[in-house]
Amino acid sequence: MTNINEKIKDIITKNDVVLFMKGTPEMPQCGFSMTVSNILKELKVKFSGVNVLADPELRQGIKDFSNWPTVPQLYIKGEFIGGCDIAKEMHENGKLKKVLNSI
């Protein structure tokens, strides 16, 4: 438990934009993960896709860490931005681009 929290902290500290997702950016395994991954690609953002399906401990750990029951989860500069709905909403109203431009 503590270990996985440390591991997640490490990932979101070392990478500016992290998407915890099912599958990979090249091959998403879930429609919601694909949606967020495609938004980031569209914005031409360099991001780190972390496949939670490859690590059962991480799959549960990220839910506890963020107090968020679902995947995908988007982190920017160590801050939890939200899941698919919020990412979509922020993309549509331009806020996501603003946040990404400021990093």
Pairing assessment for the beta strands 79-82 and 73-76 based on DSSP bridges: antiparallel
Helix residue spans in 43-93 (DSSP H):
56-66, 84-92
Q: Which of 37, 82, 91, 100 binds other proteins (CB under 8 A)?
A: 82
Q: Which of 68, 77, 97, 99 binds other proteins (CB under 8 A)?
A: 68
Minimal distance, residue 80 CB to other proteins, in Å: 6
Q: Does 3 bind other proteins (CB under 8 A)?
A: no
CB of 92 to other proteins, least distance (A): 12
What is the number of residues in the chain? 103
Q: Contact between 97 and other proteins (CB under 8 A)?
A: no
Helices (H), the chain: 2-14, 31-42, 56-66, 84-92, 95-101
Binding site for other proteins (CB under 8 A): 32, 63, 67-70, 80-86, 89
